[in-house]
Amino acid sequence: MSEIEVTAFIGPAGTGKSHRATMVARQNGIDVIIDDGLVISRGRILAGRSAKSEINRLRAIKRAIFEYPEHRDEVANYLTKNQPSKIMILATSEGMAEKITARLGLNSPSKIIKISDVSSPEEIEAALRERKEKKQHVVPAAKAQIQQNFAGKLVSQIRGFFKGRDKEESRNTIVKPLFSFNGKVTIGTEALLEMCRKLLELRNHVRKIRSLDIETDEDRISLNVEIDLNLSGRSALSIAKTLQRKLRMGLSYFTGMEIRQVNIRVNEIFL
Q: Which domains does the chain have, with CATH numbers?
A: 5-180 (no CATH), 189-270 (3.30.70.1350)
Question: For every one of its 271 residues, what pLDDT tens digit does the chain have, with 9 covering 90 and above?
Answer: 678 999 999 999 888 888 888 889 989 999 899 998 999 887 788 899 888 777 677 788 888 999 999 999 999 999 999 989 999 999 999 999 999 999 999 999 999 999 999 989 988 888 787 767 666 666 666 555 555 555 555 555 544 434 444 444 456 666 666 555 554 556 778 888 899 999 998 888 999 999 999 987 756 789 999 999 998 888 999 999 999 999 988 887 777 677 889 999 999 999 8
pLDDT of residue 138: 64
Cα–Cα distance measured from residue 140 to residue 170, given in angstroms and rounded to the nearest whole number? 8
Specify which residues 41 forms β-bridges with.
44
9 burial class (0-12, 13-18, 19+ CB within 10 angstroms)? Answer: buried
- Distance CA(62)–CA(54), nearest Å, equals 10
Q: 92: exposed, middle or buried (C-beta count within 10 Å: 0-12, 13-18, 19+)? A: middle
Report pLDDT for 162: 40
In this prediction, residue 190 carries a pLDDT of 86
Q: How far apart are CA 45 and CA 31, in angstroms?
A: 12
pLDDT score at 180: 58
Q: What is the dihedral of CA 185, 69, 97, 141, to 10 degrees?
A: -60
Give burial (CB, 10 Å; 0-12/13-18/19+) of 230.
middle
Report the pLDDT value the prediction gives residue 61, as an integer from 0 to 100. 86
Alpha-helical (H) ranges within 68-217 are 69-82, 94-104, 115-118, 121-134, 143-149, 189-201
Q: What three-state secondary structure class fits 113? A: strand
Task: Say how many C-beta atoms besides its own lie within 10 A of residue 116's C-beta.
Answer: 13
What is the Cα–Cα distance from 63 to 177, expressed in whole angstroms?
A: 13
